[in-house]
């Protein structure tokens, strides 16, 4: 899960990811395979929270911040 970003001045880095662990065992991982310059699409809190409980009411602030980022980076 390492990527060489020396061309961007960052050296070797881990891919972006989020991980849910239960009792020290990985239950689920969401790994970004896109550019580090792009907004996280699968390793973000929104994706993890939806995985944990898809029926839960989504926090409004998270949705607003995600929308703001999409507008800025477009």
Q: What is the pLDDT of residues 30-47, one digit of tens each?
A: 988 776 667 778 888 888
Q: Is the whole model's pTM more than 0.75, yes or no?
A: no
The one-character DSSP state at 22 is E
Angle, helices 60-73 vs 45-52, to 10°: value is 140
Confidence (pLDDT) at 15: 80
Residue 10: CB atoms within 10 A of its CB come to 11
User: Cα(39)–Cα(59) distance, rounded to whole angstroms?
Assistant: 19
Chain centroid offset of residue 69 CA: 13
């Amino acid at each position: 899960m390492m990527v060489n970003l020396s061309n961007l001045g960052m050296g070797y880095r881990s891919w972006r990811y989020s991980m849910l662990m239960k009792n020290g065992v990985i239950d689920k991982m969401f790994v970004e395979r896109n550019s580090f310059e792009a907004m996280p699409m699968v390793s973000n809190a929104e994706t993890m929270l939806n995985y944990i409980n898809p029926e839960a009411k989504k926090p409004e602030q998270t949705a607003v911040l995600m929308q703001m980022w999409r507008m800025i980076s477009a």
